[in-house]
Amino acid sequence: MSESILEAIVKHVVGGFSSQIRMLRDFDDAIEKLRNTIYTTQAQLLDAEDKHATTGDIALNHWVEKLKDAFNDAEDLLDLVSSTDLMTKMDKEVRIFFSCSKQLTFRLKMAQKVNAILERLNDIEIERLIFNIDLRKPPVMRSGDKEELVFGREDDKKAITKVLLDSEDNLSVIPIVGIRGVGKTLLAQLIFKDKNVENHFNLRLWVCLSVSDVFDVKLILKKMVEYLRQISLENPPMDELQSFVRENIAGKRYLLVLDGVCNEDQGEWLSLKKELMGGDRGSKILITTRSLLAGEIAGTTPPYVLKGLSEEQSWSLLCHVAFEEGREPLRPEVLEYGKEIVKICRGLPSMIKLMGNGLSAKRPDASSGIKTIEPFTESSTHCNFLPVLKRKECFAYCSLFPEDCIIDKMTLIKLWMAQGFIHSSNGNQHMEDVGDEYFMSLLRNSLFLEFKKDEWGNVLSCRMDDLIRDAAVFVAGTGSTIIDMKAEIINKRSRHFLFCSSLHSSRELLDQLLKAKKLRTFLLPTQYKGRLDKAIIDKLISRFKYLRVLDLHDSGIEMVPPSIGNLLLLRYLDLSGNEDINLLPISITRLLNLQTLKLSSCVNLKELPRDIWKLVNLRHLEIGGCKSLAHMPDGLGQLTRLQTLPLFVIGKGTASLGKTGGLSELMGLNNLRGELTILNLGHIKIDTSESNAANLESKGFLQAVRLQWEPIVGDVDPANDEALLETLRPHPNVALLGIEGYMGLNFPSWMKDDIFWCLPNLVAINISRCSKCQHLPSLSHLHCLKTLYVGELTSLEVIEERDHEPSRGNLVGGSGRQPASSAAPFSSLKELTLYKLPNLTGWRMRREGVAAKNQQFPLFLSFPCLSKLSIEHCPNLTSMPLFLNLEEDLKLTDVRRELLQQQSMMVKQTIATSLTSSTSIPSSSFPSFSTYSPFSKLKSLHIASIKDLDGMQWQSLRNLRSLVLITISNLVYLPDEIQYVTTLQHLKIVNCSNLMTLPEWMGNLMSLQKLEISQCPNLTSLPDEIYHLQKLIISDCPKLLERSHTETGVDWPKIAHISSLHIT
């Protein structure tokens, strides 16, 4: 008896182990099967959502939601398995922690979950079959199909039909381009069924490309055969398809309509046209597409861009859809609702029909759905963006940004990456570049509105039109939610949240939020400034183990909890703006999937985690504004995927938690992009291995490099700085170069004669606090240079530019571009600043070779594009090259009046010399002196800390808008010539202690709108006829204050009419 019991127990135990062993043995196969199933599920989701959007099938919607949940759970599981596998490979402690038995236990648990999800997906598929949920592609167009209601397309139809019937070219392609919902397919149907078109062509074919179809020659041929034979084919051989199509089009003038084309690959088009060349002359292909680029690539005629209906046409269509017999409603409230619908729909017929169906003359409250029904329910306004599920989710994810929110482009791309929405078809292409393509595709198709660009023309940020954002909300469905104070119920199935409400304000709201256990995104609004206590943060981290995005910026965090390391799937962590964070927990280095770590403006953060090298997937380490960082961690250089590292701090020695990372950490970080500032270069001694370790010359993606030496008290070694800077040569692609605090006597060789070849793409240069430098390198032949700042070079006496063609020198990695020897010096320079150069006496042009022979004329060619010039605290500067084309702003502070006089003198002398010399330049090339007036285009003039205004050519200031005079010590009266500056709109006078009165002719300055006067103690009165002023500001002028009192002041009648008065 006991033997039987024992035998039964053994059999049960062994049987259990056997099933588990089989499960473990088949684990890898199950994982692969799940991956394949997910791939299939993506296509099913795409077609199902597309069909639901057009049919509104409730059963289909319920099934889609279940499939979405299963799909997302499967993704979570696969990511968790991958993350755990990565951890076991990365860290010895983790391998010990995951002992053999524990690893088996984990794999068994995961195997059970994988099988459960596979069964769940199988059940969902069975449910689809039981409930007859049809995912078949939309039917092709047939000549007998019922016609839809059409308004306002007669002119479009005639224009395209004319092209189809008139041309006898051999296989023309006519593209119809327009956004989703504008009626491209309907217009093509009208043309397809037109009697004239039917009689003109011997054969007509209609091929509808589903949103999930990849443009493929075989697929199109297959659909053509299916149309002709009216049967469905499984997987016919290519040669049979080719043969059938050739036989049927041979010698016939045919019309092929390709509806819903997404292809932007010219090679694919050429392959397709090759298969379709057997028809008679006059054969045509008519395509509909949302992509202008696709239309341009395919078309043999310019794309016909289909626009929306007029407001009148839209109203007529809505009336026919929504009201009996197409008559306007009698009830005012319904009429008002209808008019609002027409405005929202913006001429899109499909949207008008969808929204019109929800509007009934008998139910005035039917307009409640006005702002939820959208024209983008099919997939997209750009055919190459949303047909792929992941790209569709990129658009849907934008629903998390509130109305009128400014969306930072790179932040959005990083969020897309964190969710796994971005995939590169080319293994060599960075995800960020793919994301940029997605973003620009949305922008080009008006889903984003451009908001801001940087100095190089790159889009930095955008916003979404309210209508487009509503479309994103519709596409996102229950998956994304913005939670604010109005929220009453939070859908626990949501995966993405933007939390606009205070987490402290509603315990019920917080409890509901915590029920969404499968949350992937927790975002705070961009402008959020609040305080999250530790208990709430602990709850967020412990509850949401599937988070990919956690945003806690500006939330008053003092300490990041060690439990952060349990968020194994986290890819995006934003802790920026938390000023009280001093250190990060070492557990943060367990986040092996982390791609983006944002720590910007954590001003008290002292150091980064010592084991940061474990974050093998980190791509963006944002530490700008971390002023307290003392050093970089050892091992940072192992993060070779790193693209963003705005700051690199050279430490003095060993830090408290480990070794200090030196300059050699930069050696292999050759994927860095954007800006890189290296601080504390003075800590590096040239006789160490650090001296040439940065390898900046290999970092071809960097746009800006700033090299900074910290201020040092005591003796410095100029030779050390010179040798170090020689090794820090940037890549030729660099556009901005900054050198600050450098204590060498001379600049490196790559900044001297060879700078044109070494750094040909420089757009901006900043040289400051280089107090021992006596000479600047020659920069005049940098033809891309737009901005130049030179400041606090106390030893600089002369700036000397050599006007000659630079020698090629050692060209390494340069553009290969030849300098234009005939181009003007500084041919592209737009902004020049000279600041605190106390010993600078002049800026000279030394001419050599051919230039020396014509030295009278090149003076006019200096700074031909200069728009802004600022010269401050350069008390000994008396000569400058001419800046005749200065247009925007001239600021002169603490300079000698001889500088102004010199400009006029040079013009006169140069013209006189040129006209009398035996030069080949005809005299007709020299206009009158007034044309060459140095400031005739100037709009803003700021003069400060100058004794008087003698030497200023006021009569030439024909376009001046703003004049600021500060601390002009000898100014008693305004120069009479200013009365002829009739374009002046703003006049500001500050700290002119000897100024006694303002002239009556100020009343003749008809354009003057704003007058500011401060710290002028001896100014006694205002002019009488300043009728045109709109704003007057007077401060610290006691005599004027007394005369300007409201109602009682002597000068009050003069200023009572001014709309904006500020007198203190």
Q: In angstroms, rounded to a whole number, what is the distance separating the alpha carbons of residues 533 and 699?
A: 42
pTM value?
Answer: 0.73
**Same domain assignment for residues 783 and 905:** yes
pLDDT at residue 191 tops 60: yes
Q: Are residues 162 and 297 in the same domain?
A: yes
Which has more pLDDT, 512 or 186?
186
Q: Is pLDDT above 60 for 382? A: no
Chain centroid to CA 1055: 48
Whether 486 maps to a domain, the answer reads: no
212 and 106 assigned to the same domain? no
Asked whether the predicted pLDDT for residue 1041 surpasses 70, the reply is: yes
Are the beta carbons of 67 and 45 closer than 8 angstroms?
Answer: yes
Whether pLDDT at 653 is above 70: no
Mean pLDDT in residue range 1026-1034:
90
In a domain, 52, yes or no: yes
972 in any annotated domain: yes
Q: What is the pLDDT of residues 283-340, one digit of tens each?
A: 999 999 988 888 899 988 999 999 988 888 888 888 887 776 667 776 776 777 778 7
Give the end of a domain, one of 305, 333, 353: 305
Q: Do residues 297 and 328 both lie within one domain?
A: no
Q: Residue 130 CB: number of other CB atoms within 10 A?
A: 8
Q: How many CB atoms lie within 10 A of CB 861?
A: 19
CA-to-CA distance for 575 and 558, rounded, in angstroms?
A: 11
Cα distances from 146 to residues 193, 318, 594, in angstroms, run 11, 20, 55
Judge whether 258 lies within some domain: yes
Both 299 and 163 in one domain: the answer is: yes
State the chain's mean pLDDT as an integer.
Answer: 80
Helix (H, G, I), strand (E, B) or coil at 574: strand
End-to-end CA distance of the chain: 109
Q: Residue 13: helix, strand or coil by DSSP?
A: helix
Lowest mean pLDDT among 262-276, 815-829, 1016-1030: 815-829
Rounded Cα distance, 729 and 696, in Å: 6
Tell whether 90 and 232 lie within a shared domain. Answer: no
CA distance 748 to 167: 66
Other Cβ atoms within 10 Å of 530 Cβ, number: 12
Both 172 and 234 in one domain: the answer is: yes
Length of the chain counted residue by residue: 1064
Same domain, 331 and 301: no
> Containing domain of residue 93, as a range?
2-130
pLDDT value, residue 387? 37
Which CATH number goes with the domain that contains 294?
3.40.50.300
pLDDT band at 48 (very low <50, low <70, confident <90, very high): low
Residues 274-285, mean pLDDT to the nearest whole number: 91
Considering only residues 849 and 967, tell me which one the structure prediction assigns the higher pLDDT: 967
Q: Quick one: pLDDT at residue 600?
A: 96
Q: What is the pLDDT of residue 754?
A: 73
Q: Are residues 257 and 122 in the same domain?
A: no
In a domain, 288, yes or no: yes
Highest mean pLDDT pick, 55-59, 440-444, 891-895, 922-926: 891-895
Domain final position from 462, 478, 494: 478
Task: Report residue 531's pLDDT band, with 50, 70 and 90 as the boundaries.
Answer: confident
- Give the pLDDT band (50/70/90) at residue 458: confident
331, 239: one domain: no
Q: Is residue 589 part of a domain?
A: no
Q: C-alpha distances in angstroms, 463 versus 85, 348, 467, 469, 1047?
A: 40, 22, 12, 9, 49
Q: Is residue 123 included in any domain, yes or no?
A: yes
For residues 908 and 791, state if they share a domain.
yes
CATH code of the domain covering residue 1009? 3.80.10.10
Looking at the structure of the chain, the number of domains it has is 6
pLDDT digits (tens, 9 = 90+) for 234-247: 788 999 999 999 99
Q: What is the DSSP string of 342-411?
A: HHHHTT-HHHHHHHHHT-BTTBGGGGGGTTT--TT-SS-SSTTTSSSHHHHHHHHHGGGSPTTPPEEHHH
- The residue among 871, 906, 938 that closes a domain is 938
pLDDT tens-digit series, residues 670-729: 999 999 999 999 888 876 555 568 899 999 999 999 999 988 777 788 999 999 999 999
Contacts of 465 (CB under 8 A, 6+ apart): 446, 449
Nearest to 968 by CA among 939, 995, 996: 995
Q: Are residues 315 and 271 in the same domain?
A: no
CA angle 212, 213, 218 (to 5 degrees): 165
Would you say residue 502 lies in a domain? no
| Cα–Cα distance for residue pair 546/544, rounded to 1 Å | 6
Residue 503: pLDDT band with limits 50, 70, 90: low
